[in-house]
Amino acid sequence: MKAFMNVLKRKQPMNSELTTAFQIETGSSTEAFAKKEQSLEDKSRQKPLSAPGLTLKKVNVRYGDTNAIEGACLDIPSGSITALVGPSGCGKSSLLASISRMTDLTPQCQVSGEIFLGKDNILAKGTDLNRLRRRVGMVFQSPNPFPMSIEENIRFPLRDHGMRDESVIRKTIKNVLGDVGLWDEVKDRLGQSALALSGGQQQRLCIARCLALDPEVLLFDEPCSALDPLSSAKVETLIKGLKSRYTVLLVTHNLAQARRIADHVAVCWVQAGCGCIIESGDTRSIFERPVHPITQAFCQGLQG
């Protein structure tokens, strides 16, 4: 992420920096993606769900001597949205980062336990991080388009992953911008800077950039918190629409949002100095029949 942040700070980044940033964000391997070129072209936009779910088993995240997360267990089913809620500092972002192995990039951060994406333990030694980060897309709180044109924001990662056929690239750009409801808004100014878009449009562009690489899992870390209510509603509707094709984990501070769009909710809390998942279940049960007293108080707005 350091390289990614460096790129964003500069107006005219070096190509090599952008490449590194994309590799960190999504992983890349030229030959692997070249193989996907044809399949992407052929793929119907209404692809049937093939994404596996995620299973977290006794996951611990440590920064040096401090435990941020201890013993987190959670099932995140495919084809649905799981919301991760909890007060600031309880470890939600750390847990998300461990799923994409972004935690590897933080010095002093250690993750243990097991995280299964389908049958693959993400935390196992020898996991191909480039492949993993292609399978797991991540969208952050602040929209972070690259300082280049709207279409280059999509073309760049595609080319970086080995796609060369310009007609396929153009088709993919149109498809993913359509998927996020941006195509009609930007089709006449694809060559203009992405930084000139509104915050909400930038966030949807970032989601489109993730979708272009055809991930299986989408991780959203408070994707609406920097947006105005209208843009937030658009992104929310978009995430809801994506759930049938992906495994979605959404961190949100907005309990009303979790209630509106999530199928499952996990509550994270700090207990004995470190974050843990105190309760999880289907959204209705968590909000209407919570078992844990903290969940009860938190979901009723009495605590947190």
Ligand X SMILES: Nc1ncnc2c1ncn2[C@@H]1O[C@H](COP(=O)(O)OP(=O)(O)OP(=O)(O)O)[C@@H](O)[C@H]1O
Residues within the interface to Mg ion (CB under 5 A): 93
Looking at the Cβ atoms of 98 and 201, the one nearer to ligand X is 98
- In whole angstroms, the minimum distance from the beta carbon of 67 to ligand X comes to 9
What DSSP designation does 165 have?
A: -
Query: Contact between 106 and ligand X (CB under 6 A)?
Result: yes
Cα 301 to Cα 72, 223, 224, 256, 298, distances in angstroms: 23, 21, 20, 11, 5
CB of 169 to ligand X, least distance (A): 35
Q: What are the Cα distances from residue 29, in Å, to 36, 163, 218, 224?
A: 11, 11, 20, 31
Can you say whether residue 118 is alpha, beta or left, with left for phi > 0 and alpha for psi between -120 and 50 degrees?
Answer: left
Nearest-approach distance from CB 274 to ligand X, in angstroms: 8
In the block, residue with structure tokens 């919301």 = 83
Q: How many residues does the chain have?
A: 304
**x/- site string to ligand X, residues 75 to 94, per CB under 6 A?**
-------------xxxxxxx
Contacted by 67, from ligand X, Mg ion, none: CB < 5 to 8 Å by type: none
| Radius of gyration, CA atoms only, the chain | 19
Tell me the number of residues near ligand X by CB under 6 A: 10
Q: How far is the CB of 101 from ligand X (least distance, A)?
A: 14
Contact present, 189 and 195 (Cβ < 8 Å): no
Residues 143-172 that bind ligand X (CB under 6 A): none
Q: Smaller CB distance to ligand X: residue 99 or 182? A: 99
Query: Considering the complex, what minimum distance in angstroms separates the CB of residue 84 from ligand X?
Result: 9
Nearer CB in complex with ligand X: 127/225: 225
Query: Residue 88's binding partner, choosing from Mg ion, ligand X, none, with beta-carbon cut-off 5 to 8 A by kind?
Result: ligand X
The interface partner of residue 121, options being Mg ion, ligand X, none and the CB cut-off 5 to 8 Å by kind, is none
Closest CA to 144 of 195, 217, 214, 196: 195
Please tell me what DSSP assigns to residue 15. Answer: H
User: Does the protein bind ligand X through residue 257 (CB under 6 A)?
Assistant: no
How far, in Å, CA of 245 to CA of 292, rounded?
Answer: 32
Rounded to a whole number of angstroms, the minimum distance from the CB of residue 99 to ligand X is: 12
What distance in Å separates the CA atoms of residue 275 and residue 89, rounded to the nearest whole number?
A: 8
Residue 68 tokens, joined: 């941020």
In the window 48-77, what residues touch ligand X (CB under 6 A)? Answer: 63, 68
Burial (CB count <10 Å: 0-12, 13-18, 19+), residue 267: buried
13 binds, among Mg ion, ligand X, none (CB under 5 to 8 A by kind): none
Query: Which residues are at the interface with ligand X (CB under 6 A)?
Result: 63, 68, 88-94, 106
